[in-house]
Amino acid sequence: MNRRERRRFFLDWVASITALVLGFIIIFPIIYTICVAFKTRAELSVFPPALLPDSFLNMGNFKSVFETAPLMRFMANSVIVSGLGCSLRILFAVLAAYAFSYFKFPLRNLLFMVVLATMMLPADTLIVTNYLTITRLNMLDNYLGMCITSLVGASQMFMLRQNFKTIPQSLRDAAFIDGCGDLRYLTRVVAPLSSPVIFTLMVQSFINFWNAYLWPLLVTNKAEMRTVQIGIAMLTNPLDTNYTLVLAAVAILLIPSLFLFSFLRLAMVRGIAAGALVG
C-alpha cells in the first residue's frame, strides 16, 4: 500500500467514524424516547440514570396515555390535516412550478421573485391576520382551516421549478406535436420524471403539518378537533409532569413519520441526489 492509498484509507475511516458519530447523535433522542416510554417514574428518577428500562414489557405508560387523553382521536385529526395539507400543498406547488417553468407571461420572473421573497417573512407575523380571515370565513374547528395558511409553499415551488427546468424542452415539443396538452404532459411526463423530488417534498410537508402546534391550537375550540401535538401538551402539568407518560405519547406519535420515511426512503434519496445535481 503506497502513501496515497494509505492516505485515502485513513480519510475513509475518518469520514466513516464521523458519519457514525453524527448519526448516533441525531438518532439518540429517538432511542432515549423509546427507552423512557417503557420506564416507571421510579426508574426515571434513579441516579446515575440508566438508558435501558428494566423491562420492555412494561406497557403501563401506553395504557395511561390513552386513558388520560383521547389520543386516537387526536391522531386521526392529525392524519387528516397532514394528509389534506400535504396533498394540496404539493398540488399547488406542482401547478405553479409548471407555470413558472413553461408558460411565458408578463412579469413572470418578478412574480416568481415575489413568491420567493415570502420565505423571508416569518410565519408568526401573519398569525393575527390569518386568524381574523379564518374567523370571517367561518372556518374555525375545520380541517381545511387548520392547514389552509400553509398550502402555498415557496420552497416547494422553487425546488420543483428547478427540477422541471432540467427536463429537455424537446420532450415537450414532441409531446405537443403528438397532440398532448399541458395537463396531460404534466401528469404523464413531468410528474413521473420528477417523482423522487415530489416524494421528498411530500414527506417534508407531511412532517411539517404533523408537527404543527400553534396554528391548530388557535383555530380549534372543540376538544375533539385538536391535533396530536396539542394532545401531548394536555399530558403535562405545571406542578407535576410525568415525563414517562409524555415520552410514551411521543413514541406513539413517531410511528407515522417513521413509517412514511421508511416507505419513501429510496425515493427521497433519489430526490436528494437529483436536487444536488440540479444545484
pLDDT of residue 276: 44
* Residue spans of the chain under pLDDT 70: 1, 239, 264-279
What's the pLDDT score for residue 122? 78
Distances (CA, A) of 102 to 87, 95, 131, 167, 182: 23, 11, 35, 11, 9
**All 3 cell numbers of residue 35?**
427507552
Strand segments (E) across 101-227: none
89 in any annotated domain: yes
Rounded to 10 degrees, what is the CA torsion of 253, 256, 257, 260?
Answer: 170
pLDDT of 252: 84
The pLDDT of residue 277 is: 43
pLDDT of residue 278: 42
| 158 HSE (CA, 13 A, CB side) | 13
Note the pLDDT of residue 245.
83
Q: For residue 68, is it within any domain? A: no
Q: Does the residue 121 lie in any domain? A: yes
The pTM for the full model equals 0.78
pLDDT of residue 121: 78
Residue 9 counted as domain residue: no
Task: Say if residues 53 and 43 touch (Cβ distance below 8 Å).
Answer: yes
**Is there a domain that residue 50 lies in?**
no
247: number of Cβ within 10 Å: 23
State the CATH number of the domain containing residue 177.
1.10.3720.10
44 within a domain of the structure (yes/no)? no
Number of structural domains (the chain) is: 1
What is the residue range of 129's domain? 76-235+259-278
- Cα gap 166→205, rounded to integer Å: 23
Q: For 67-92, how does the pLDDT look when each residue is reduced to its tens digit (9 = 90+)?
A: 777 888 888 898 899 899 999 999 99
Evaluate whether residue 142 is within a structural domain: yes
Q: What is the pLDDT of residue 267?
A: 60
- With respect to residue 52, please indicate whether it lies within any of the assigned structural domains: no
